[in-house]
């Protein structure tokens, strides 16, 4: 991860070439998604403030906590289907309440009660546990989205 951070720090999206390949975009997406969740959000916001084509192309492919809002409820529900309640509760514990409530609403009402209890317990958890759960949730969503994108 340190290598990914160093590489990304050397990438200035303002200076991205006019002509870039899909591979350039994918490499940048993979690089950002390999960073700790907090840093993913920082770079996502940096890209969002850039008006260039390269930044827009990366943002279109990037799946981080800040970009989850662009996914449909069905994509999100299918993406988190394999995530158990404990991991999901931990992942949602420190998220923006609007996003957490949206994701929570995608689960059956009975399970929502269990997840809310896990969220309350996880809020006091070590940040590493929460970040690991957020990574698992993001990985599941990314995997679902990208698998279905290649089938389309």
CA atoms within 13 A on the CB side of 138: 26
What is the residue-averaged pLDDT of the chain? 87
Q: Count Cβ atoms below 10 Å from residue 97 Cβ, excluding itself.
A: 9
pLDDT surpasses 60 at 5: no
Angle between the N-to-C axes of helices 85-92 and 97-104, in degrees from 0 to 180, rounded to the nearest 10:
160
Query: How confident is the model at residue 4, as a pLDDT?
Result: 52
**pLDDT beyond 70 at 101:** yes
pLDDT number for residue 3: 53
Q: Above 60 in pLDDT, residue 79?
A: yes
Is the pLDDT at 7 greater than 60, yes or no? Answer: no
Give the pLDDT of residue 8: 54
CA–CA distance, 17 with 146 (Å, rounded to integer): 26
């Amino acid at each position: 991860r340190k290598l990914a951070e160093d590489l990304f720090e050397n990438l200035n999206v303002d200076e991205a070439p006019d002509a870039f390949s899909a591979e350039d975009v994918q490499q940048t997406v993979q690089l950002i998604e390999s960073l700790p969740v907090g840093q993913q959000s920082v770079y996502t916001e940096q890209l969002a403030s850039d008006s260039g084509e390269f930044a827009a192309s990366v943002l279109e492919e990037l799946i981080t906590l800040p970009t989850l809002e662009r996914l449909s409820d069905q994509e999100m529900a299918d993406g988190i289907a394999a995530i158990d309640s404990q991991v999901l509760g931990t992942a949602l514990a420190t998220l923006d309440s609007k996003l957490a409530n949206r994701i929570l609403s995608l689960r059956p009402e009975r399970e929502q009660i269990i997840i809310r209890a896990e969220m309350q317990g996880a809020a006091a958890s070590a940040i590493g546990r929460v970040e690991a759960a957020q990574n698992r949730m993001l990985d599941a969503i990314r995997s679902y989205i990208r698998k279905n994108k290649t089938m389309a």
